[in-house]
Every structure is written in C-alpha cells, then in structure tokens.
Amino acid sequence: MKIGIIGNGKSANRYHLPFLLQRKDKIKVKTIVTNNLENRTWERIDEINYTDKIEELYNDPEIDLVVICLRPDLHYKYAKEVLEHGKNCLVEKPFVETLEEAQKLFRLAKEKGLIVQPFFNCDSGKNIHVGEDFLANYNVTILDIAEVRIGDYCMIGPNTLITTVGHPISPKGRRERKAQGMPVNIGNDVWIGGNCTILPGVMIGNNVVIAVGAVVTKDVPDNSVVGGVPAKVIKQIENDL
C-alpha cells in the first residue's frame, strides 16, 4: 500500500510516521504535502517526496490512502477532496466539527466505494460495539480481544485505555504468552475522563462519571461518580432524564 500525508507537523511526525516506517514490507509513505517547504522543525526522510503542491498527491494513481494531519477545522474540506479524487482517507482526531459533516463524508465514501474514518487504536475492531452519539477523544485505545459494548450518549476522554485482555501472574504462563479475554460493558450516558483505565471484565452502569486518572477494576453501579486507584464510588448523582 502506498500512502500520502497532508500536513507535516507533530501528528504526522510523532504519531503516524514512526508506525508506518516500521512496516516498509507492506506500506510505503510516498508523498507528504506541506504548506512550508522551508520549515525544518522535523527531520526529512530521504525516501519521501515532500511537496507544497497538493495536486501531486491527488493525481498520483499509485497512492491508495491519504492521511490528513491538519487543524480540525480543515478536516472536512480536505477529506472531501481526497474522496473526490478516488482515494481512501484516514483523518486525525477529532474527525470533523459536526455530525452533518461526518454524515456527508460517509455518504460520499459509500457512493465511491471508498473508506473514510478517523484515526483510532484497537486490536481488531470487530468486537467493539458503540451506540448513538458516541465521542472518543485523542489517543483512546480499546484492546478488543473480547467484546466491548458501549451504550448511547457516551464520552471518553483523551489517553484512556479500555482493555479486555489479561495475562497469568505466573512467569511460566507469561513466557508462553497466554492471555485471557473478558468483555467490558459500558451503559448509557457514561462520561469517562482522560487518562483512565478500564480493566477486563468490568461492567459500568448507566449515568456514570469516571474521574480523570481512575483505574476501574470492579463493576460500577448506575448513577454514580467514581475515582481513584483503584476506583471507588465518590457520590451518587441524579438521573434527570
């Protein structure tokens, strides 16, 4: 697969390129579009073509996928252009600014038989099920060896980990790479703050707030605020719906 990147800032150089360059047997980063060729904040990579002419990327028939690493207010404009030029598109988070813009991009991609999606970290994705009006902020990671079910109107803050996989305590078992998957279930109207960890087998009820930095090791009841390491119920809250 040959890839082009629009944008040459921190997102491209710190998050995407290190991953992509480790997989040269399957992926080639061919072109990076930047609006300032004189900017040398980030070290140039000899094998990549750097250009300020976006048409070079759009008109290159070898490029299968374009990664957009720009300011959020530019995501919709360039994602639309990428799809219109017949290329698949991966967009840095936040995806776009409105639900309407997201729906337009998904419709356009479907019409053209292409894929458009936000950048996201997971094991496989097939075991993740989310409800209506779901928001995941920067660097959310879901390790879905087992099922992860997330209800309606849920928000997850940046750098949060939801994991379904555990390993043996014994060194023999760890050396054998043994693992056990246990599902995670999250109810409706749940707000998980940034830098939280949700461990395997946890069930989180409806109308729950999980404070920043919490490590959730046990089930959480409805209508509650939890926090701490390990997380404990801090107080009960009213469901005003």
| Bridge partners of residue 51, in order along the sequence | 33
Reported as half-sphere exposure (CB side, CA atoms, 13 A), residue 213 has a value of 2
Number of Cβ within 10 Å of residue 119's Cβ equals 17
| 72 located within any domain | yes
Report residue 28 as tokens: 């080639």
205-215 per-position pLDDT tens digit: 999 999 999 99
The whole-angstrom separation of Cα 3 and Cα 218 is 42
Domain closes at, from 119, 144, 162: 119
193 and 178 inside one domain: yes
Task: Give how many domains the chain has, as a whole number.
Answer: 2
User: Quick check: is 172 in a domain?
Assistant: yes
Contact 67, 3 (CB under 8 A): yes
User: Is 10 among the domain residues?
Assistant: yes
Q: Which domain holds residue 31?
A: 2-119
Within-domain flag for 241:
no
Q: Is residue 75 flagged as an active site residue?
A: no
Per-residue pLDDT tens over the stretch 67-104 = 999 999 999 999 999 999 999 999 988 888 888 999 99
With bands split at pLDDT 50, 70 and 90, how would you rate the model's confidence at 170? confident
In the predicted structure, residue 18 carries a pLDDT above the cut 90: no
Please indicate, yes or no, whether residues 97 and 42 belong to a single structural domain of this protein. yes
pLDDT band at 146 (very low <50, low <70, confident <90, very high): very high
By DSSP bridging, strand 180-181 and strand 165-166 are: antiparallel
10 and 40 in one domain? yes
Whether residue 150 contacts residue 134, with contact meaning beta carbons closer than 8 Å, is answered with yes
Alpha carbon distance 183, 164 (integer Å): 6
How confident is residue 120, by pLDDT bands cut at 50, 70 and 90?
confident
